Structure 1
Amino acid sequence: MSSVTETSGTERNYLHQLTSLRGVACLVVLFGHAIQVFRYQNPQRTGPQAAMHDIVTYAFNAEAAVVLFFVLSGCVLSLSLRKYTHLTGRIVGSFYVKRVFRIYPLLWFSIGLAIASMVVAREWVADGVFVGWLSRNLQTPVSIRNTIMSVAGVFTRYNGPMWSLRVELMYSVAFPFLFWLVRAPRLRVVTLAGLAAIALLPLPHEVGTVFALSFGVGALIPLLPTTLSPRHGIYALLALVVLLYDRYGLMAMGLNLPERIPDMIETVAAFVLIRDLYASGRQYRLLLNRPVIAIGELSYGIYLLHLPIMLMVFSMMGHVMGAPALLSHPSLTQAGLGGATVVLTTALAAITYNILELPLHNLGRRLGNALLAQPAPARPVSPPQGADTHASRI
């Protein structure tokens, strides 16, 4: 399989691990949705059974996985820009061209699939089966206006995961300026403090201001020294636990905090985890496993396409077996629905990757590089001897 990840020599292991991390995160989102978006009839459980159930289900923290995506995006976008001494208009223009060709083609395909899944779910599934936000999305009128706004990446009701693509687009526009701020050592602390203040603004979660900090700390990762404490591996392991279970811990303590607080906690945890992968040089066997790397390469497609496919699978299963029968056996339904969705979504993502995503992404690269070549490319910074350099997906 060809790759949309640009690799270079010794950088390959590092890039493979980041790619795999993205793949693991997208599977967490997928199974998280299988657990969270249907109104299951949860059976009575004893104390130990309830605790074990919570430990397993909260591990699929879809919200934390999306925060990890944003920190990871900040990191790899920073890698793509840090080689330039100055961000000229041509460099920024090339950056935008590549982002457009990276994000939009598969987004447009997913809109058609999402509309089809809405039609199927409306016809075959009764009211009261889906949680509130998904039920509202499924009742959204399919209109020319809504479709045009969806194609632009602004309207996200057709396909729930599109909200994070809107955030990605918003911060892609702002990223060259954000990168310029965090690259300047004298502005770094002030910038991060400002981003934290923006993240704390009491605005609706879907506006996306809380994720300013996620992109900011992600952009900082390649700009920091690569020397880590010998104990940083322990810190990374603790960060992973926090990333998965912070919401469970806050709930267990009876703390009803605004959504932006766990988002910020998860941003810090994701920063520690990704920085360890970037700077430690450790090689994790799981993340260097070929099937996991392949899932990572397909992760954008799996992320965008999984919910429409899951809705169609559930609708068909419910049409045959009856939705009440599925909802009354949550563990079996979640495992079966998640597994079937993984297989079908991965297959479709592999097809769209090879015939749509990769060719158009490569076209965007060529157009972006052509823009840099007229009249002459900006002079890259010469890295100091012994410094690690990484190419990245953009």
Structure 2
Amino acid sequence: MEKSINYLHLPKVFQNNNRLDVLLAVRGFACLMVVIIHCAPPRNALIYQNYDLSWLIFSHGAVAVWIFFCLSGYLMGKAFYTERYSSDVTGVINFWRNRVLRILPLYYFAVLILSIFVYPDVLKFENWGYLLRVCTFTYHPYVASQPIAFNDVFWSLSTEMQFYIFVPFIYNLSKPLIFKQKHVITAAILITLIEFLIKLLSWVSFSHQINHQMGYAFKYWYTPIFNNLDIFLSGFLVNTWIKYCKPKSSTTDNKIHQKIFINKKSIAIILMILLYLFTAHHLYHQELWGLPNRPGGWRTITTIFIFQPLTAIITSFFIFAFESDNYHIYTKNEKLSFAAILKNPLRILEVFGSLSYGVYIWHMPILLRIYSIFSSDIPIEAFYNRLLATLSLSVLLTTVTYYLVELPATKFKIEKTDPRLL
């Protein structure tokens, strides 16, 4: 047995669990949000009784990425708080090793294929520095003075990998300092204030550029790891909040707690729906996304200062609502399969979540190749065709690369990891 995996401290495993993995389903929904907005939904395309409802399909891609980050922060923290990894040298190395084996095989395979067949300019000698940034997870689309075409979504994987480096240090730093729920609240407020000051500094320095040039918005507001630590850490702190929840002492208290918990789940779902609707409406009507001749940056203070902490709060509450009832019980869910879905049809919502990493990587180059094929006098028809083709081809390519690239790499892992971990 590996020293880093302390099985003695894990609670009993229940083998016959076949429940819906809600976080995996949310991950799939966030991935779908990204694909939808990248397929360029048309404005003024859904009109009902003189009401323009087109904003309903303008999913906010940035919000989707922040949901990814919050989920990742929670799951990475949970790996240590539930002692699946110890915080000593061996445990930390095993944690990093498993993260590398999860991300790098498909990532580098995609870099190779895309460099040869989709973005060959990146192989030119003068662009090798750009390619080096891609390969070392220090990439964002505007990293060069003259942007070079490549898969834009790779920036978020760079930010994720940078966060993984910090996770063990964050855990060891926070464990002796944050051991009560009031400490979690204090830490959350402090982190939010620090992030606000960082964003305020960027805004004061480059407000005009951030408003009008997406390159500046990416470089100084959207992609840096330190501008996203609040969203990662909000998910991370959910572990501490749940860990130090006071247990209920009586049966009556437990029944009351269970009713409240069910209500929390309903509230969490409603809040996530409202988050989508609010941010989509704002993207359409305030940011004027998709409007011809729109400046390339972000227009509003709401987007720049409000949406990220709002997403962090709602996603963290969602995680708490669905995880706090079984956090202290290490349940082994039945492997997702056709038989499992037949027994619990809700688990079909997990399918896209399981495919989300591959779909996220492949959808942009696929869209680049097929975009011009789908044209129509009816813009919404062209959008639907693009979306369906992109999703279908992405799922197909994801399935192929899973068996050819990802699955062989799993045999080198120290342990089987949570399928929700990106």
Q: How does 1:197-236 map to 2 (within 5 A)?
A: 197-200=193-196, 201-202=198-199, 203=202, 204=220, 205-223=222-240, 224=242, 225=245, 229-230=260-261, 231-236=263-268
- The 8 Å contact of residues 78 and 222 in structure 1, kept in 2 or not, is answered as yes
| Structure 1 position 248, deviation (Å) | 4.2
Q: Aligned letter for 2:160?
A: E
CA deviations over 1:129-148 (Å, ceiling 9, x no partner): xxxxxxxxx9x998222222
2:170 is aligned, of 178, 186, 192, to 178
Q: Which runs of 5 or more structure 2 residues have no equivalent in the other structure?
A: 1-11, 142-149, 203-219, 248-256, 288-298, 327-340
1:148 is aligned, of 132, 142, 160, to 132
TM-score between both structures, scaled by the size of structure 2: 0.68
- The 8 Å contact of residues 20 and 347 in structure 2, kept in 1 or not, is answered as no
Q: Which runs of 5 or more structure 1 residues have no equivalent in the other structure?
A: 1-6, 123-137, 319-324, 370-389
Count of equivalent residues = 333
Identity across matched positions, percent: 20
TM-score between both structures, scaled by the size of structure 1: 0.73
Query: In 2, Cα distance between the equivalents of 1:48 and 1:141?
Result: 57
Q: Which has the higher contact order (CA 8 A, sep 6+)?
A: 1
1:332–1:355 Cα change, 3 Å: same
Q: How does 1:1-394 map to 2 (within 5 A)?
A: 9=14, 12-13=17-18, 16-35=21-40, 42=43, 49-54=50-55, 56-58=56-58, 60-84=59-83, 87-115=87-115, 116-118=117-119, 143-157=127-141, 158-183=150-175, 184-185=178-179, 188-200=184-196, 201-202=198-199, 203=202, 204=220, 205-223=222-240, 224=242, 225=245, 229-230=260-261, 231-248=263-280, 250=282, 256-257=300-301, 258-279=303-324, 289-315=346-372, 317=373, 325-326=375-376, 329-365=378-414, 393=421
| Structure 1 position 288, deviation (Å) | 5.6
Q: State the secondary structure of the residue aligned to 1:35.
A: coil
1:91–1:34 Cα change, 3 Å: same
Query: In 1, Cα distance between the equivalents of 2:136 and 2:401?
Result: 20
CA deviations over 1:73-129 (Å, ceiling 9, x no partner): 11211221113396111111111111111111111122234433346xx9xxxxxxx
Query: In 2, Cα distance between the equivalents of 1:11 and 1:79?
Result: 22
Query: In 1, Cα distance between the equivalents of 2:419 and 2:119?
Result: 39
1:329–1:260 Cα change, 3 Å: farther
| Structure 1 position 207, deviation (Å) | 1.3
CA deviations over 1:224-258 (Å, ceiling 9, x no partner): 13867343134213321332133345565799215
Query: In 1, Cα distance between the equivalents of 2:22 and 2:275?
Result: 18
| Structure 1 position 182, deviation (Å) | 4.4
Q: State the secondary structure of the residue aligned to 2:223.
A: helix
